Amino acid sequence: MHLFAQDLVNGILAGGILAVVALGFSLVWGIMNIINLAHGAFLMLGAYLTYQLFASFHVDPFLSLPISFVVLFALGYLIQTYLINWVARAPILTTFLLTFGLSLLMVNIALIVWTGDQRGVTTAYSGANFTIADVTVPWTKLFTLLAALAITGIMQLWLTRSKTGRAIRATSMDIGAAQLSGVRVAHIYAIVYGLGAGLAGVAGTLISLSYAVNPGMGDPFLIKAFVVCVLGGLGSVEGALIGGLVYGIVEAFATQLDFTIGTQHISGSGLQDAIALVVLLIVLIVRPTGIMGKATA
């Protein structure tokens, strides 16, 4: 019973991070219909930025959250303006490959700058944790979850209340009508892609607190971001949050699977991608609009 509670808590804590990872991915996909394969690379850059600030200037990782956001937002804005906007309305294959190429570029630049060594952001409070009813909770992961909730809340408010937020939502509903109302679509696209990159950077900062930092660290999060979006419902802020938490819990339990058939030993921890695929297919067949989703094209 206490193992069950521990898995559940671990799942919720991991799910908070997944929600932030998926949030930016979901916005870019929902509003521009672009699957951003460079999302994992932005996340990795955010993590390295945090690492470098911490290692060189002793900046606390939580303080570098806004720095990650601003730097990655600027990078994303420039990439969308000068590269992706040229093919923004092309068939999916084009943007798929373009973002894949960008991802390769960024990962390999990181490999040259920081080499392939594993880096870690180890603060004074890194190992600290507390225990309630036999369930251990690390402080960093709890603060990460709280930060994730706060970021999701801020995004939701900004998208519904601000003028730019409304322009973004208008663009996703009807490009033609938005243009007629004076929305500059190319500019809005650049802002959305910047937001996606910025949120990935923030997620990278949060992830660097609990996971090792290396150039390939973004890849496992990419396919999970996709599954979380499908699970929660595409393009909605609360969908990413719910999807992230649900997927975090499912994964926490699935990776605990451990049994033997004949001489073949099967352990869930080695099958993370297979688990993601199974969840994805089940959701797509049973509830294609996601948990929070309305019917979309």
Partner 1 sequence: MMTTAVLRRIGLGGITGSPIAIAVALALMVVLLAVPLGHNGYLEIVFRNILMYAAMAYGWNLIGGYTGYVSFGQVAFFGAGAYCSAVLSAHGIDNLFADVALACVVNALFAVVVGLPVLRLKGHYFAIATLGIGLALSDIVANLDALGASSGLAVHHVDEAHFYVYYYAMWLVALATILGTYFIARSKLGFAFVAIRENEEAAAVLGIDATRYKITAWAISAMMAGAAGAVFAPANGFLDPSIAFSIDSNVFPIVMAILGGVGTVAGPFIGALILAGANELLQRYFIKIHTLFFGAMIVIVVLILPRGLVWLFGLKGGARTWLKSLTAFKA
C-beta atoms surrounding 250 within 10 Å: 18
Q: Does 101 bind partner 1 (CB under 8 A)?
A: yes
With CB under 8 A as the contact rule, the residue among 52, 59, 62, 100 that binds partner 1 is: 100
**CB closer to partner 1 out of 33 and 256:** 33
Any contact of residue 83 with partner 1 (CB under 8 A)? Answer: yes
CA R_g for the chain:
19
Beta carbon of residue 287, minimum distance to partner 1 (angstroms, whole number): 13
Report whether 269 contacts 255 (CB < 8 A): yes
Check: CB of residue 19 under 8 Å from CB of residue 241.
yes
Residue 281 in contact with partner 1, rule: CB under 8 A: yes
Minimum CB separation of residue 37 from partner 1 in Å reads: 9
Q: Which of 20, 23, 31, 102 binds partner 1 (CB under 8 A)?
A: 102
Question: Which residue, 19 or 230, has its beta carbon nearer to partner 1?
Answer: 230
Q: Which residues contact 258 (CB under 8 A, 6 or more apart)?
A: 266, 267, 268
**Near partner 1 by CB under 8 A, which window of 142-150, 157-165, 222-230, 237-245?**
222-230
Q: Is 29 in the site for partner 1 (CB under 8 A)?
A: yes
295 touching partner 1, by CB under 8 A: no
Among 56, 57, 58, 112, binds partner 1 (CB under 8 A): 112
102 vs 147, which CB is nearer to partner 1? 102
Residue 128 or 266 having the CB closest to partner 1:
266
Q: Which of 86, 125, 130, 139 binds partner 1 (CB under 8 A)?
A: 86
Q: Considering the rule CB under 8 A, would residue 260 count as an interface residue with partner 1?
A: no
Tokens representing 156 are: 């939701």
Q: Applying CB under 8 A, does 113 fall inside the site for partner 1?
A: no
Nearest CA among 42, 64, 39, 40 for reference residue 53: 64
Nearer to partner 1, 59 or 185 (CB): 185
Tell me how far apart the alpha carbons of residues 265 and 280 are, in angstroms, rounded to a whole number.
Answer: 25
E strands, the chain, in order: 129-132, 135-138, 258-261, 264-267
Name which position in 1, 117, 270, 295 contacts partner 1 (CB under 8 A).
Answer: 270
For residue 177, give Cα distances in angstroms to 89, 167, 190.
Answer: 17, 11, 19
Asked if residue 42 binds partner 1 (CB under 8 A), the reply is no
- Distance (Å, rounded) from C-alpha 192 to C-alpha 155? 12
Instruction: State how far the alpha carbon of 114 is from the alpha carbons of 41, 128, 187, in Å.
Output: 14, 28, 33
The rounded distance, in Å, linking the Cα atoms of 233 and 228 is 8
Q: Which one of the spans 79-87, 126-134, 135-143, 145-153 is the region binding partner 1 (CB under 8 A)?
A: 79-87
Closest to partner 1 by CB, 148 vs 280, is 280
Q: Judge contact between 22 and 263, C-beta under 8 A.
A: no
Give the span between the Cα atoms of 50 and 209, in whole angstroms: 9
Nearer to partner 1, 113 or 154 (CB): 113
- What region does 138 belong to: left with phi over 0, alpha with psi -120 to 50, or beta? beta
Measured in whole angstroms, how far is the alpha carbon of residue 295 from the centre of its chain? 23
Interface residues with partner 1 (CB under 8 A) are: 29, 33, 35, 83, 85-94, 96-98, 100-105, 107-109, 112, 185-186, 189, 223, 226, 230, 263-267, 270-274, 276-278, 280-281, 284-285
